Structure formats: structure tokens, C-alpha cells
């Protein structure tokens, strides 16, 4: 077995990415503190052809140097926008017909492995590293999903959570 070189991976370029059919998911980052986590989310979004990222509140925006370190150029491929607050961003998405899903531990959450996706565009809300998704935002969600956990810790790092959630949703969207 031989490790492949980057030029052997046959990845699309930025222009091809922009023309490619996107995974019908918009990501909303609700006051994410770490620019490194934001960059990681950009990079994962590039890997799965995510449609859009909405950076809200205190969430860092490109060209932040910490985002650049972990995004490795994904801010040039993945479409993004900024919203001063998450509530306004979610209101707009809901008026556009999105099914809004919060990723949070909640009393009526659905475990990620049990989710059934509607046949429409979805928005995934990811929250602050300490406080999670704000309750006011949870109140606006159509549903809340949670990753099953079995250890002593209460949560996973947001970039790890994002990777798990996007992989599971991508598989469900692309299974035929």
C-alpha cells in the first residue's frame, strides 16, 4: 500500500467546486468562539460540497488568520455570509422554506442515527463551544438532533461534532 500524493487525488478545483451541485445544507454557526473551529468547519464543508455557511454574532469571519490555518483555502470555495445575530439568520431561512435542525442536547432531541430528513433544503445550527446553541434559537428549530455519547464528558468539540453530523446527513441525502 502506498500513500497517495495530492496530485493523485483527482480533486476538483475552486471553479469546478463553485459550479458543482451542492449538498442542500446550509450551516449556521451561533456565536462560535474559536476561529480554528470555524476554519475546520469550512474545510469539512468543502469536503462535502456544503451549500453555504452563515457566520453569526461573535463568530470570526474570513480572512481571519486562525481560520486560514485550519481552513487551508476552503474559504475560497465554500460560500459564506455574515449575520449580526443568529435569530435573524434563522428567521430568513425559515421564510425561505428551510427545515431548521439544531445540534444540541435537549429533552426532545432525536439521536443522529434515528433522524429522517425531509425532502427539502435543511439548515444545521451549531452552537458556541461552552453554551451550545442559544435556547432562543432552539425554540425556532423544527427539530433538534444529538450525537449519542457513552462516556463521562458532556459534549464533543464543535469541529468533531460537525464532522460526525455532516457525514451522517450526507450519507442519508446521497443514499439511493
H helices of 27-157, in order, are 35-47, 65-71, 86-95, 135-138
Residue 154, pLDDT score: 87
User: What is the structure's pLDDT at 105?
Assistant: 95
pLDDT of 12 above 80:
yes
Nearest Cα to Cα of residue 46 among 6, 81, 77, 68: 77
Give the model confidence (pLDDT) of 71-89 as tens digits: 999 999 999 999 999 999 9
β-bridge mates for residue 131, sequence order: none
Residue 20 gets which letter from DSSP? S
Residue 146, pLDDT score? 96
CA distance 63 to 56: 15
Please tell me the pTM assigned to this model: 0.95
Mean pLDDT calculated for residue range 88-96:
98
pLDDT higher than threshold 90 for residue 3? yes
The answer to whether residue 176 scores a pLDDT higher than 80 is no
On the question of pLDDT at 33 being above 90, the answer is yes
In angstroms, rounded to a whole number, what is the distance separating the alpha carbons of residues 36 and 49? 20
Task: Please compute the mean of the pLDDT values over residues 49-58 and round it to a whole number.
Answer: 98
Domain definitions of the chain by residue range: 21-174
Q: Which three cell numbers stand for residue 52?
A: 453555504
User: Mean pLDDT score of the chain, rounded to an integer?
Assistant: 95
Question: Does residue 129 contact residue 60 with C-beta atoms inside 8 Å?
Answer: no
Task: Give yes or no for residue 23 having a pLDDT over 80.
Answer: yes
What do you get for the CA distance between the two ends of the chain, in Å? Answer: 31
Starting at the earlier edge strand, list the strands of the sheet with 110-111.
80-83, 50-56, 23-30, 122-127, 99-103, 143-146, 110-111
CATH code, 21-174: 3.40.1280.10
b/e map 59-77, b = 16+ CB within 10 Å: bbebebeebbebbeebbeb
Asked if residue 175 has pLDDT above 90, the reply is: no
What are the pLDDT digits (tens) for 100-159? 999 999 999 999 999 999 989 999 999 999 999 999 999 999 999 999 999 999 889 999
Amino acid at each position: 500500500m502506498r500513500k497517495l500524493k495530492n496530485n493523485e487525488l483527482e480533486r476538483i478545483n475552486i471553479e469546478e467546486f463553485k459550479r458543482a451541485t451542492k449538498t442542500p445544507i446550509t450551516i449556521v454557526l451561533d456565536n462560535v468562539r474559536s476561529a480554528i473551529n470555524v476554519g475546520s468547519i469550512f474545510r469539512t464543508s468543502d469536503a462535502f460540497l456544503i451549500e453555504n455557511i452563515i457566520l453569526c454574532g461573535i463568530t470570526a469571519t474570513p480572512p481571519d488568520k486562525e481560520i486560514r490555518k485550519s481552513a487551508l483555502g476552503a474559504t475560497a470555495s465554500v460560500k459564506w455570509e455574515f449575520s449580526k445575530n443568529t435569530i435573524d439568520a434563522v428567521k430568513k431561512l425559515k421564510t425561505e422554506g428551510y427545515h431548521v435542525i439544531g445540534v444540541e442536547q435537549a429533552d426532545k432531541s432525536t439521536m443522529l442515527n434515528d433522524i429522517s430528513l425531509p425532502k427539502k433544503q435543511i439548515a444545521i445550527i451549531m452552537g458556541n463551544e461552552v453554551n451550545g446553541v442559544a435556547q432562543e434559537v432552539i425554540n425556532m428549530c423544527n427539530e433538534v438532533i444529538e450525537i449519542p455519547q457513552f462516556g463521562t464528558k458532556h459534549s464533543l468539540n464543535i469541529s468533531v461534532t460537525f464532522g460526525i453530523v455532516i457525514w451522517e446527513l450526507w450519507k442519508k441525502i446521497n443514499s439511493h
